[in-house]
Amino acid sequence: MTDARALSRRIASLLAEERNRLAEFLVALADFDRQRGWGTLGYASLFQYLERELRLTSSAAARRMTAAALVQRFPAVVEPLRDGRVCMSVVYELSKALTPENASEVLPRFYGLSKREAEALVAELRPVANPPRREVVSGLARTAPPARVSAPAESQAASPVPERTSPGVQRDADLFSAPARPRDEVVPLDADLRRYHLAVSKAFLAKLDAAKDALSHAIPDGDTEAVLTAALDLLLEKAADAAS
């Protein structure tokens, strides 16, 4: 236990050092950008310098460039970055919300937020004007399953084996037959409204249409959110009854 506690203190110390170094890096990068040092070194932009000179990936370069620009405009961001109240994943969202007029009030509202929470706060502070209320149904192409290498190619060519499957044994190809399911995506539009991107099966859409028909007396316009809300309310009620 003593060793674990000592190691924990060391980890906490390293984390604090990492945050401090990151803040110092961004301050230095902001000064470098202000002086157009990247131009002196023959680069067309700070982004190009970060990619080619510092060997950062495009996404890492973009995040640091955004953070450096934010530090230039709002030096008050440095200390929250230094002590961990604001993390790099939130900087991009913060850059969309801060203005000289609201910085002192808005910056503290981002302290301790995750990226998703920061996105929701930005949507509250800067709501999308007249967001479209529509449903979009589109087909998704299923990609071919990745090949599984089980033996050298020359070995397979030399001694081909007839394709047979014993009862209860799944062929290698079947292990990859189910394509990776796209992740749900939630995009905040304002303080209350969200756009929800969900990948569903044809069977789900058929059940949804059947539910809309069944509830047409109560929900004449067939609003999808209202239908799904009714279904979820029923499911939660059944779960509560089963738990009691």
pLDDT tens-digit map of 5-53: 999 999 999 999 999 999 999 999 999 999 999 999 999 999 999 999 9
pLDDT score of 161 = 47
Instruction: Give the pLDDT confidence of 160-191 residue by residue, as tens digits.
Output: 444 444 444 444 444 444 455 566 777 777 76
d(CA 50, CA 97): 25
- What average pLDDT does the structure give for the chain? 80
Per-domain residue ranges of the chain? 1-84, 87-127+185-196, 198-243
pLDDT at 201: 79
pLDDT at 157 over 50: no
Q: pLDDT for 208-241, tens place per residue?
A: 888 878 777 777 777 787 878 888 888 887 788 8
Half-sphere exposure in the Cβ direction for 31 (13 Å, CA) = 5
CA–CA separation, 113 and 32 (whole Å): 29
Residues 6+ apart with CB under 8 A from 45: 38
Cβ contact 33:72 at 8 Å: yes
Rounded to two decimals, the pTM is 0.58
**Tokens 């020359």 -> residue:** 154
Choose between 219 and 111: higher pLDDT: 111
